[in-house]
Structure 1
Amino acid sequence: MLRILLTIVLPLALPTVVYLLYVTTVEARRVRAAQEGGPVPWWVEAPWPWLVGGGVLLTGLTLGVMALTGGDAPGEVYVPAHMEDGRLVPGATRPAPTAAPGH
């Protein structure tokens, strides 16, 4: 159930939730500026800093999660795809060969 939540529901719902939070914040700032009679802050009218900042944050988060959870075990060796006896053997990782004693 957690896998479904993290891989399907969260990626679909998170952009909508973030957008709704953004719209709510911008509208609250716009209303407050109108009530006080002051100018609307520049960032209320320009969503680009928020979009760029969110993109940078999500990219960093994604790269961090992939670095910490992805990849093969340390010390394994990648063996690329190759042909054996006329059939294609897919690429895989295997434990590194150990050196023979005395070498």
Structure 2
Amino acid sequence: MNAVDEVTQYEILCSVERISERYLIPVLEMQITQFPFVILGFHTDNGSEYINKRVAGLLNKLLIELTKSRARRSNDNALVESKNGSIVRKHLGYGHIPQKWAPLVNEF
């Protein structure tokens, strides 16, 4: 999971064991607390792991506005997609990483 500030380009990368709400919430909470400044907005794709009541509740509690991309418009997330290419794929490659390695990737 890649979180990027669009102004400063500050970036926090984390791995989740599975792309689901259950695994995403703790990682999202961790990412939000690691930014050295207040988060005002959170923009995501249309994935159900992000667009759900638990994520909305967390962001509402923290007064963070949630926005989402238009359907089938990957260029709405161009910043994070370019970071995925230059950072994530450069160091971890394009292959699948087994879920058992997610905690170790995060420790790294």
Taking structure 2 as the reference length, the TM-score comes to 0.23
Larger radius of gyration: 1
Taking structure 1 as the reference length, the TM-score comes to 0.24
* Bigger relative CO (Cα 8 Å, ≥ 6 apart): 2
